[in-house]
Structure 1
Amino acid sequence: MRALARILGLTLLLICLQACGDDEGDSLTGTGISISDIQGSWNAIRVEFDIAGSGASLAIDVIQAGGSATLVIQPNGRFTLTITQMGESPEVTTGQMSVDEDLLVIEFDDSPGESEFFGVRSTENTLSINGPAEFDLDNDGMDDPARVEMDFERA
């Protein structure tokens, strides 16, 4: 319930920010970062999914557990994220990203017309993304609402 409240609160905040922002169209440039800053190939050094609830906290770092992840961002904002957990087939996620203010706005190909908002930080050789996700944290075969924090180094 707490995660749902956070997601709803973040969504309302982002709607307000977008409504108050300038109306220059669908720009790929935000105030502090742009797609051109983060385009290219990235290798993950941390992909951590976590959820807290009922006094206990579950967290899984795919990289620390022997998995891998790569992110490729095209100059037009198209991206491919590939996450491979140890001993499992790769999970490939694709979509379109843009930057609004200092938030990464992502429309996943499997949910057209719906945008998700993520925090993003970047230097020339590092990229960090965090936000809402789904992941099978308790290994019961069902995805759970979660939060993801991903740190990448430029490939």
Structure 2
Amino acid sequence: MQDVRELTQRWFEEVWNQKRLATVDELLAPEVRAHGFPEFNSVQDAAGFKASVVQFHNAFPKIQLKMQDVFVDGDKSAVRWTATLHGREDATDKPAAVSGFATARWSSGQIVEAWNFVDMTAVIAKMQEMETPARTEVTDRQSFEAL
């Protein structure tokens, strides 16, 4: 039997920080029931969850997730995590801090059921910020007339 703590750490590091979709395929059972991501009341299968991961990575190409606490009890793991999200790769980008909690039930080295609780307020605020064009400062009359 694989170590649930190691599998949990691998999931968070590889799926979120390294963006390795092959790890999603490897560690997520096809019959998984994934609750609460991306929306609080959603339930997804493996394909739906993977699509949500891809969508999240596309929206936030620079994400750094850190596991703050990892708890394991038999075939279950629970993680309290924080993440820094970046949406743009320019000077106007200000990172958003997001936190959450995830629990999983493992069987034969795969997640068979998961529950996710994400601070979507910070995620939505960051997405709204990204939709607003960056301001251009006008420093002289000639620049102003060029606009």
TM over 0.5: no
TM-score of the two chains, using structure 1 as the length reference = 0.35
- Greater Rg by CA: 2
TM-score if structure 2 supplies the norm length?
A: 0.37
